[in-house]
């Protein structure tokens, strides 16, 4: 995501939410004195930003149901092979192949990886609107499953990637073993980030998300092994 897109998202966000000016500068990439504070929680290594000059951690909490901005401005919904089955069944499809044909788009897209390198991925994405086309990929669309109360009408079988937000996750080799890592995605769409002196207020959330992140990573890797997507570095 470009700085211009993040700036546009933050401008929209500020219409309804107070955004700390320091956090805004951080999300816009204007603060360079940032350290990575790694926190291992069960099977996941979380990377929490620490602003050196301000001596503050960037933490997060979710304001749902007062906020559903991530569903209002959804950019892409890549599905795992488990999602294909559970969401297809939830939408009353007898055959997963019919669900894939009618409700998804297979898209190839690129993004910067954890170390800045470009990663090209091909994924099966849930259509965020019924008439979504490949040209809509990556643009902000209010998801068709967002209901009038701000809930997700396909919950609990909503895509794993929706459970994951606002984290992103990747695998790294550590002494010959795969280690799951996670960090925040700063897209400018989430009002839940805040600055704090310690990471204590986020301990319970990290504990809960450790399971979510690990589970998503395993499912995502199984999806690739089963041929329902591909990644090229």
Residue 98, Cβ neighbours under 10 Å: how many?
12
Token pair in block for residue 124: 């099966």
**Which residue of 48, 51, 59, 71 would you call a contact of ligand SF4, by CB under 6 A?**
71
The answer to whether residue 75 forms part of the interface with ligand SF4 (CB under 6 A) is no
Q: Name 40's bridge partners.
A: 45
Q: Which is nearer to ligand SF4, 78 or 229 (CB)?
A: 78
**Which residue of 159, 160, 188, 229 would you call a contact of ligand SF4, by CB under 6 A?**
159
CA nearest to 193, candidates 180, 202, 203, 182: 202
The residue range among 39-47, 129-137, 143-151, 176-184 that interacts with ligand SF4, by the rule CB under 6 A, is 143-151
Token pair in block for residue 137: 């990929």
The residue range among 27-35, 50-58, 146-154, 199-207 that interacts with ligand SF4, by the rule CB under 6 A, is 146-154
Q: What is residue 90's three-state secondary structure?
A: helix
Q: Residue 194 in contact with residue 59, Cβ under 8 Å?
A: yes
Non-local CB neighbours of 176 within 8 Å, separated by 6+ positions: none
Token pair in block for residue 87: 């969401």
Q: Which is nearer to ligand SF4, 52 or 63 (CB)?
A: 63
The CB-of-46 to ligand SF4 minimum distance in angstroms stands at 16
The secondary structure element, H or E, covering residue 162 is: helix 160-164
**Which residue of 35, 63, 200, 232 would you call a contact of ligand SF4, by CB under 6 A?**
63
The residue range among 3-11, 20-28, 111-119, 151-159 that interacts with ligand SF4, by the rule CB under 6 A, is 151-159
Site map (CB under 6 A) of ligand SF4, residues 10-49, x = contact: ----------------------------------------
Is 137 exposed, middle or buried, given 0-12, 13-18 or 19+ CB atoms closer than 10 A? middle
Q: Which residues bind ligand SF4 (CB under 6 A)?
A: 62-64, 67-71, 74, 143, 145-146, 152, 154, 158-159, 162, 165-166, 189-192
């Amino acid at each position: 995501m470009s700085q211009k897109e993040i700036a546009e998202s933050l401008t929209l966000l500020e219409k309804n939410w107070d955004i700390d000016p320091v956090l805004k500068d951080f999300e816009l990439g204007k603060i360079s004195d940032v350290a990575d504070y790694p926190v291992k929680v069960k099977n996941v290594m979380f990377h929490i930003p620490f602003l050196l000059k301000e001596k503050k951690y960037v933490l997060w909490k979710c304001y749902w149901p007062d906020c559903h901005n991530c569903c209002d401005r959804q950019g892409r919904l890549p599905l795992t092979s488990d999602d294909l089955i559970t969401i297809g069944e939830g939408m009353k499809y007898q055959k997963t192949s019919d669900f894939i044909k009618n409700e998804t788009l297979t898209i190839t897209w690129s993004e910067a990886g954890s170390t800045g390198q470009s990663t090209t991925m091909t994924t099966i994405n849930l259509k965020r609107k019924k008439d979504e086309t490949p040209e809509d990929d990556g643009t902000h669309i209010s998801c068709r499953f967002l209901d009038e109360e701000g809930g997700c009408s396909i919950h609990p079988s909503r895509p794993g990637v929706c459970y994951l937000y606002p984290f992103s996750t990747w695998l790294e080799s550590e002494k010959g073993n795969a280690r799951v890592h996670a960090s925040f995605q700063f897209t400018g769409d989430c009002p839940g980030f805040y600055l704090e002196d310690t990471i204590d207020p986020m301990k319970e959330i990290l504990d809960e998300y450790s399971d979510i992140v690990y589970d998503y990573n395993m499912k995502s890797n199984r999806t690739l092994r089963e041929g329902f997507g591909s990644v090229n570095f």
